[in-house]
Amino acid sequence: MPTKLRELILLRHAKSEWKQADLADIDRPLSDRGKKNATKMGRWLKEQALIPDLILVSPAQRAQQTLRRIFSEFSANVVTVDALYLADLPSLLNTLRETPQAECVMIIGHNPGLEELFEFLNHETNPNPSNNANTEQVTLFPTCALAHFVLPQTWSSLEKGDGKLLQFIRPKEI
């Protein structure tokens, strides 16, 4: 029996506030722009009917606030994963490989780890324009940007280049 395709949505947290110098990094909240962009991205996800079965989110305040703004209008199975806070590529891969067999998983996390995971999974240098993706080469993963992949493997067997990028969306494009 063939393996079912999986979908992975990578979402970098929205823009955070830097005004309080004495605030620990993990406690930084979203800026006004971040709040606006996260709400906008949530509307776009709903319009696209792109609702994950499982959301893995960093414990950082900015990631948690991004989650709440994006999914304010619908519910999802959410797990806060401490290892996602400032996670590097090996940590992100370990988290994914230990993921239950959900068909569509979203990770809300941080750079540079998300950018590294994007590059690890992406088997093309450019998104596929036939799937409504941005045709510019993706070189940066800005705040509140979203990458949507389809993966032929189970989560436990992810390898370099397994992903096919369907969409890369920045808040300014929606």
Q: Mean per-residue pLDDT for 132-150?
A: 76
Give me the percent of the chain exceeding a pLDDT of 70.
Answer: 89
Domain ranges of the chain: 6-173
* Residue 20: pLDDT band with limits 50, 70, 90: confident
pLDDT, tens digit (0-9, with 9 covering 90-100), for 32-41 = 999 999 999 9
User: Greater confidence, 106 or 138?
Assistant: 106
pLDDT of residue 3: 58
CATH classification of 6-173 is 1.10.10.10, yes or no?
no
Q: Mean per-residue pLDDT for 152-171?
A: 92
- pLDDT of 125 > 60? The answer is no
- pLDDT of 127 > 60? The answer is no
pLDDT of residue 52: 94
Residue 159 contacts residue 153 (beta carbons within 8 Å): yes
